[in-house]
Chain A
Amino acid sequence: MPTEILMPALSPTMEEGTLAKWLVKEGDTVNSGDIMAEIETDKATMEFEAVDEGTIGKILIEEGTEGVKVNTPIAVLLEEGESADDIGEISAEPPESGDDDGGEEKEDSSAEDGSAPAPSAPAKVAQNIEPDWPEGTEMKKMTVREALNSAMAEEMRNDDTVFIMGEEVAEYQGAYKITQGLLDEFGARRVIDTPITEHGFAGIGVGASWGGLKPIVEFMTWNFAMQAIDQIINSAAKTLYMSGGQMGSPIVFRGPNGAAARVAAQHSQDYAAWYSHVPGLKVIQPYTAADAKGLLKSAIRDPNPVVFLENEILYGKSFEVPVLDDFTIPIGKARVAREGTDVTIVSFGIGMTYAMEAAEKLAEDGIEAEVIDLRSLRPLDYDTVIASVQKTNRCVTVEEGFPVCSIGNHLSAILMQRAFDWLDAPVINCTGKDVPMPYAANLEKLALTSTAEVLDAVKQVTYR
């Protein structure tokens, strides 16, 4: 049976091309790899090689022909023992579209997959406030630093595959003392000092997670992790999907994030919105010590890559932490930090300090704010936010990150889609300013959001 040689697609976007030149003629013998023709694509002139061996029985498209559609027969190849007489009726016509695999696009256009929310009437969401630990549990004061440290130590005691690596995590006892004592207890095999090479050790961490370990990779600050962001996103976050579910990256990337005090533009960025953008990642930004501990333990156990955003200023802050043997907080569940009826203030991480302070002041003026601490940014607990806004009809978001494409922007869009009829005022986003962080003390203060801004925003949405 003679073989049809078809006009090839020679680039990802090529639909037709020019058969510029034949380098073989009828009767020529060709071997695999021989160049048969030159074809002009939408990008370049390409050489077209033979795949099978045989004799050119007939040339169907003359050289110089323009606009030859991909998959049009351009020549006929005869195998050993065949002659030109075996060539039947072969027309130099492209195959009709839609016969094999051209028609499948039409079938699946209805968005049953949930990607595009239908503009149907948004539903009322029931408020569901469950306590994170049983009533009457013994509590203990603990700093966020101690909470993070104990979370890692407990998980390392429970599971030999958990280890920590990063700059100054071992002998120096942690640049911010989060890993204090871990080297003494677990040894250099499991508490690994790295050179100052974020890109490289983030990749080594991801590789180790594929090899059956559960790495905790500490970045001295998330600002330095920009050197490693390719490994976090392209290697850790996407591989489960790209492997059709075979691989997974059980790894925690953690460290201080956002502004500290007077460390200026290159050490002060909040990456909450950046990482929350990426499917395949989980993103956590705790405020309290209890959340820091319970969520870090969950993050270490989670089979997915988790970005854990801490805050240097909060490290020394004390909170009540439950005294429980194995205390965890589920990822993806927001916390109602203060109940109220007049306005919903949504925040996370250090933004909660402004939100809580504002709520206390508002109470003096007779405005009862409900404050929601998101804790997890991806997955984000939309229902808790929406249920609250459906009760209060007003919302202000608070974060320290840049304003463009912020977490607050995203929540505003979701509230417009799912709670439009309940809103009595536009949602206001309190954020950091749209400037690199300045060094001067007065300017730095202005660049961050503040309790005063939150109070102003609440007054606007409550029309006071």
Chain B
Amino acid sequence: MATRKKSAKPNVSADELKQYYRDMLLIRRFEEKAGQLYGMGLIGGFCHLYIGQEAVVVGLESAAEEGDKRVTTYRDHGHMLACGMDPNGVMAELTGREGGYSKGKGGSMHMFSKEKDFYGGHGIVGANVPLGAGLALADQYKGNDRVTFTYFGDGAANQGQVYETFNMAAVWKLPVVFVIENNQYAMGTSMKRSTSTPDIHTRGEAFGIPGEAVDGMDVLAVRDAGKKAVDHCRAGKGPYILELMTYRYRGHSMSDPAKYRTREEVQKMRDEKDCIEHVRDLLLSGKHATEDDLKAIDKEIKGIVNGAAEFSKESPEPAVDELWTDIVREA
């Protein structure tokens, strides 16, 4: 993993830093609460938490503009919160309630918001990659300069359809940023055991797609790389690959005991690379905020997350009629 640059004075305003801190903290606290609700049996099925990876979506969203699109895999709660979806609606979908984004019919892995240009939430590893390229094709067809962020993991990077998509995206110069969130484990299989060459960002070279590795635990590095990639796409130069070196603190899903790595490895990442602590340090050491300022943000986030949890418990289960709706649209 790239080491964090400490020397250069970051080119960022106090307000921006506070916003990143707040947005990342919202994801972390939301996910912790989701884990707790899962433990209480209020959330069922598979639940993949984003804890540790928050800088990736928060950094990239800061490079996005109105009308840009995003599509991701099943580890999707962070992406939804980062693009401005309502925490109440996301949490209520996790609990399978009427107030959820999919009226309780999609669950953790299958959630969408057309309003926020969030196109899922996909449970099939790799399948969202051509879907993202298709969204980009639609924008290119319409002649606008919007960009689609297509997120996937290091595990999905071994899927065949990813390379079919790289090829077509390059041939047709589609405005798509392929965002590889490399958290080093495809469920329980480490990169070392599953991936022939370690530098996934170089896999676009065969297709003429530029790519770079970025410290995914540093929200400012992510933001800068995101801006560069987006500019490339908006200029009509075709796709761009970003490999974000990141880490998930929790297991693959709630039922994963994570025996494939040591407790020390996880603790080391938390102690040395945590993305929220990093911004917290920048805020305090740069005198951009006081402990009290940050406490106020913590309190605000706690209120939002507790509110989302309450909403998700109180929202009723979907009406039984919902079983039979939304299967096909009336022609």
Interface residues of A (CB under 8 A from B): 6, 8-12, 14, 32-33, 35, 41, 43-49, 51, 70-71, 101, 104, 108, 113-115, 163, 189, 192, 194-195, 197, 199-213, 230-231, 234-235, 239-248, 279-280, 282, 298, 301-304, 331
Instruction: Say yes or no: is B106 at the interface (Cβ < 8 Å to chain A).
Output: yes
Known: A10-B255, A45-B257, A203-B131. A243 touches B106 (CB 8 A): yes
**Which of A9, A104, A231, A243 touches B120 (beta carbons < 8 Å)?**
A243
Contact A113 B39, beta carbon cutoff 8 Å:
no
Contact B134 A203, beta carbon cutoff 8 Å:
yes
Instruction: Please name all residues of chain A whose beta carbon is closer than 8 Å to the beta carbon of B110 when the two chains form the complex.
Output: 242-243
Instruction: Say yes or no: is B270 at the interface (Cβ < 8 Å to chain A).
Output: yes
Contact A210 B130, beta carbon cutoff 8 Å:
no
Which of B2-10, B121-129, B197-205, B228-236 lines the interface with chain A?
A: B121-129
**Which of A200, A210, A240 touches B165 (beta carbons < 8 Å)?**
A200
Instruction: Please name all residues of chain A whose beta carbon is closer than 8 Å to the beta carbon of B111 when the two chains form the complex.
Output: 243
Chain A proximity mask over B158-189: 1 for CB below 8 Å, otherwise 0: 00110011011001100000000000000000
**Which of B113, B141, B255, B324 touches A208 (beta carbons < 8 Å)?**
B141
Taken together as a complex, chains A and B put the C-alpha atoms of A45 and B130 apart, in Å, by 38
Instruction: Please name all residues of chain A whose beta carbon is closer than 8 Å to the beta carbon of B326 when the two chains form the complex.
Output: 240-241, 243-245
**Which of B133, B134, B257 touches A47 (beta carbons < 8 Å)?**
B257
Instruction: Say yes or no: is B137 at the interface (Cβ < 8 Å to chain A).
Output: yes
Known: A10-B39, A189-B141, A203-B127. A242 touches B329 (CB 8 A): no
* Additional pairs, 16, CB under 8 Å, beyond known A211-B69, A245-B326: A10-B254, A12-B44, A33-B249, A47-B257, A51-B35, A108-B320, A113-B323, A207-B71, A207-B130, A209-B134, A210-B138, A211-B135, A242-B110, A302-B331, A303-B330, A331-B331
Within residues 240 to 274 of chain B, which ones have a CB less than 8 A from any CB in chain A?
A: 249-251, 254-255, 257-259, 263, 270
Instruction: Say yes or no: is B192 at the interface (Cβ < 8 Å to chain A).
Output: no
Contact B320 A241, beta carbon cutoff 8 Å:
no
Contact B124 A279, beta carbon cutoff 8 Å:
no
Known: A8-B38, A71-B40. A248 touches B329 (CB 8 A): yes
Contact A212 B142, beta carbon cutoff 8 Å:
yes
Closest chain B residue to A44, Cβ basis: B257
Instruction: Say yes or no: is B211 at the interface (Cβ < 8 Å to chain A).
Output: no
**Which of A6, A12, A212, A245 touches B138 (beta carbons < 8 Å)?**
A212
Contact B102 A208, beta carbon cutoff 8 Å:
no
Instruction: Say yes or no: is B227 at the interface (Cβ < 8 Å to chain A).
Output: no
Instruction: Say yes or no: is B33 at the interface (Cβ < 8 Å to chain A).
Output: yes
Closest chain A residue to B254, Cβ basis: A10
Selected A-B contacts with CB under 8 Å, 11 pairs? A51-B33, A199-B164, A202-B130, A207-B133, A207-B137, A231-B131, A235-B124, A235-B131, A243-B106, A243-B120, A303-B329
Chain A proximity mask over B8-38: 1 for CB below 8 Å, otherwise 0: 0000000000000000000000001101101
Known: A200-B165, A205-B134, A301-B331. A241 touches B105 (CB 8 A): yes
Instruction: Please name all residues of chain A whose beta carbon is closer than 8 Å to the beta carbon of B127 when the two chains form the complex.
Output: 203, 230-231, 234-235
Closest chain B residue to A301, Cβ basis: B331
B73 → A minimal CB distance (Å):
13
Instruction: Please name all residues of chain B whose beta carbon is closer than 8 Å to the beta carbon of A211 when the two chains form the complex.
Output: 69, 134-139
Instruction: Say yes or no: is B100 at the interface (Cβ < 8 Å to chain A).
Output: yes
Instruction: Please name all residues of chain B whose beta carbon is closer than 8 Å to the beta carbon of A189 when the two chains form the complex.
Output: 141
Interface residues of B (CB under 8 A from A): 32-33, 35-36, 38-41, 44-46, 69, 71, 100-106, 110-114, 119-124, 127, 129-139, 141-142, 160-161, 164-165, 167-168, 171-172, 249-251, 254-255, 257-259, 263, 270, 317, 320-321, 323-331
Taken together as a complex, chains A and B put the C-alpha atoms of A279 and B124 apart, in Å, by 18
Taken together as a complex, chains A and B put the C-alpha atoms of A303 and B106 apart, in Å, by 20
Q: Which 10 A-B pairs have the closest CB atoms?
A: A207-B134, A211-B138, A203-B130, A200-B164, A8-B39, A11-B255, A244-B103, A197-B164, A244-B102, A207-B131
* Residue of A8, A211, A247, A303 most packed against chain B (CB within 10 A): A211
Taken together as a complex, chains A and B put the C-alpha atoms of A101 and B328 apart, in Å, by 30
Closest chain B residue to A196, Cβ basis: B164
Taken together as a complex, chains A and B put the C-alpha atoms of A205 and B327 apart, in Å, by 20
Instruction: Please name all residues of chain A whose beta carbon is closer than 8 Å to the beta carbon of B324 when the two chains form the complex.
Output: 113-114
Instruction: Please name all residues of chain A whose beta carbon is closer than 8 Å to the beta carbon of B44 when the two chains form the complex.
Output: 12
Known: A231-B127, A243-B110. A303 touches B168 (CB 8 A): no
Known: A280-B327, A303-B331. A244 touches B33 (CB 8 A): no
**Which of B41, B46, B102 touches A243 (beta carbons < 8 Å)?**
B102
Taken together as a complex, chains A and B put the C-alpha atoms of A231 and B13 apart, in Å, by 43
**Which of B119, B123, B168 touches A247 (beta carbons < 8 Å)?**
B119
Taken together as a complex, chains A and B put the C-alpha atoms of A14 and B40 apart, in Å, by 11
Instruction: Please name all residues of chain B whose beta carbon is closer than 8 Å to the beta carbon of A70 when the two chains form the complex.
Output: 39-41
Instruction: Please name all residues of chain A whose beta carbon is closer than 8 Å to the beta carbon of B112 when the two chains form the complex.
Output: 239, 242-243, 246-247
Known: A11-B255, A44-B259, A213-B138. A51 touches B32 (CB 8 A): yes
Contact B114 A242, beta carbon cutoff 8 Å:
no
Closest chain B residue to A14, Cβ basis: B255
Contact A206 B134, beta carbon cutoff 8 Å:
yes
Taken together as a complex, chains A and B put the C-alpha atoms of A246 and B325 apart, in Å, by 12
A318 → B minimal CB distance (Å):
29
* Residue of B132, B160, B327 most packed against chain A (CB within 10 A): B327
Instruction: Please name all residues of chain B whose beta carbon is closer than 8 Å to the beta carbon of A239 when the two chains form the complex.
Output: 112, 120
Contact A207 B46, beta carbon cutoff 8 Å:
no
Instruction: Please name all residues of chain B whose beta carbon is closer than 8 Å to the beta carbon of A241 when the two chains form the complex.
Output: 105, 326-327
Contact A206 B124, beta carbon cutoff 8 Å:
no
Taken together as a complex, chains A and B put the C-alpha atoms of A108 and B161 apart, in Å, by 42
A106 → B minimal CB distance (Å):
13
Contact A51 B36, beta carbon cutoff 8 Å:
yes
**Which of A12, A231, A248 touches B255 (beta carbons < 8 Å)?**
A12
Contact B122 A235, beta carbon cutoff 8 Å:
yes
Taken together as a complex, chains A and B put the C-alpha atoms of A12 and B255 apart, in Å, by 7
Instruction: Please name all residues of chain A whose beta carbon is closer than 8 Å to the beta carbon of B132 when the two chains form the complex.
Output: 207
Taken together as a complex, chains A and B put the C-alpha atoms of A47 and B263 apart, in Å, by 10
Instruction: Please name all residues of chain A whose beta carbon is closer than 8 Å to the beta carbon of B41 when the two chains form the complex.
Output: 9, 70-71
Instruction: Please name all residues of chain B whose beta carbon is closer than 8 Å to the beta carbon of A304 when the two chains form the complex.
Output: 328-329, 331
Taken together as a complex, chains A and B put the C-alpha atoms of A360 and B140 apart, in Å, by 54
B253 → A minimal CB distance (Å):
9
Instruction: Please name all residues of chain B whose beta carbon is closer than 8 Å to the beta carbon of A199 when the two chains form the complex.
Output: 130, 160-161, 164
